[in-house]
Structure formats: C-alpha cells, structure tokens
Amino acid sequence: MTLEEKLKVCLNCDNRKFDMKRGTVCKLTDEKPTFEDSCPDYKGSTYQKSSDNSYQNYEPEFGGWLKFMMVIICVGVALSIIQNINDLKSSAYDTYVVAFVIAHCLSFTAMAGYAIYCFIRKKANAVFWGYAYFTYCLLTNLFIICFNGESDLVMDGVRALVTCVAWMFFLHYSDNVNELFPKDKRTVKKHDWILAINGILIPYIVLFSSL
C-alpha cells in the first residue's frame, strides 16, 4: 500500500490525530502509518476490513458542522443584501455610500459563492476562501463597531465578530475539515490572493475616496 492509501485507512480510525505540520498521524505512535496490508491497531466502526483482510475504499464526507457553516454563509449573504437594500430605501445617502453598498454586496456575494463552490467541489483552495470570507465579515463588523454610533448595530457587530472568529477556529481545528482538505494537499495560488485582497479592499476604497 502507498502512503496515500494508508492515510485513507487512518482517516476513519479512532486512533488517528491531526498534526499541524505533518497532517494525519497515529495517536499511538505519533508517526505516519507504516503498516503494509492491515493495521493491527485499527479501531473504527464505519471503515472495516473486507473478507480478504484488505480495506474497503473510504472517502471522508462532509460533517454536520461543515454543512451548517455553508448554510450560515448563504443565510449571512442573503440577510446582508436585504439589510443593505432596506437601508438604501429608507435613508438618503450620497453617491459614494451607494457605490460602497453596491460594491460590498457584489464582493460579499462573490466571495461567499466561490467559497461554497470550492468546498463542494473539494478544491485545494477551499479552506483559504473560507478564511477569506470570514476575514471579510470580521473586518466589516469591526468597521460597524468603530464607525457606527447606534448601540443596537454595535452590539450586532460584536456578536457577528465573535461568530466570525468562532468559524475561523472551526476551519483551523476541525478534524472533518482537515480530513477533507489535508494541510499538505492545500494550495493557494497568486490569483487567489489577488482576488481575495481586491474583493475585501475595493468597497472601502470606494467609500473612503469621498473623504
């Protein structure tokens, strides 16, 4: 068995653990798997040995929290767009603010949509775009906290900021995320960074250009 085939076995073993530098390793030996045809220390219920003592094919699946995260992203984008549209209808804003809201909604929607697409397609840059989306949310809510005088909006911003940080911790520490997207298999290309940075900064460049 190749190392990759052995790691597929380890992914559903209760004796596995995730190391941030090396990826999936054995909790008993603190090393990468070294067994040949079968592991004597394998412990799991879903992924069992077949009759010829080999292992059935196994692919990690999306867990409940990861699915819930994608639902949260969709709901967050929808609520943000609705709120921004209602704000524009109910108040008189200058051209720069209107342009900022439009740019924000477009960037927010595009970043969320692409992040979900990458997760569903199990792209190597999926986790990066998850971080990018929640970073954008975090900065947006920091902006609301710092520059909005309404106490209700400030409290909403604080709650949203804490939520963003919690989801970023989830992306970092979740076993399910690290199984689906092993750290050594993740790749982030130059255009990913360019698109993410531009998507975050352009709305604020539009807004502050009026100052």
Q: Please, which residues bridge with residue 19 across strands?
A: 23
CB atoms within 10 A of CB 30: 10
Q: What is the dihedral of CA 189, 191, 194, 197, to 10 degrees?
A: -60
Residue 115 has pLDDT above 70, yes or no: yes
**How many percent of the chain have pLDDT more than 90?**
32
Identify residue 10 by its one-letter amino acid code: C
CB atoms within 10 A of CB 53: 8
- Mean of the pLDDT values across residues 157-165? 89
Q: What is the pTM of this model?
A: 0.71
In Å, the largest CA–CA distance within the chain is 73
pLDDT at residue 44, as a whole number = 65
pLDDT at residue 53, as a whole number = 42
Name the residue with higher pLDDT: 208 or 134.
134
Residue 168, helix vs strand vs coil = helix
What is the Cα–Cα distance from 164 to 28, expressed in whole angstroms?
Answer: 34
- Mean of the pLDDT values across residues 83-94? 73
Q: What is the pLDDT of residues 28-74, one digit of tens each?
A: 888 888 887 778 888 764 444 444 444 455 566 788 899 999 999 99
- Work out the pLDDT band at 135, boundaries 50, 70, 90: very high
What is the Cα–Cα distance from 91 to 43, expressed in whole angstroms?
Answer: 61
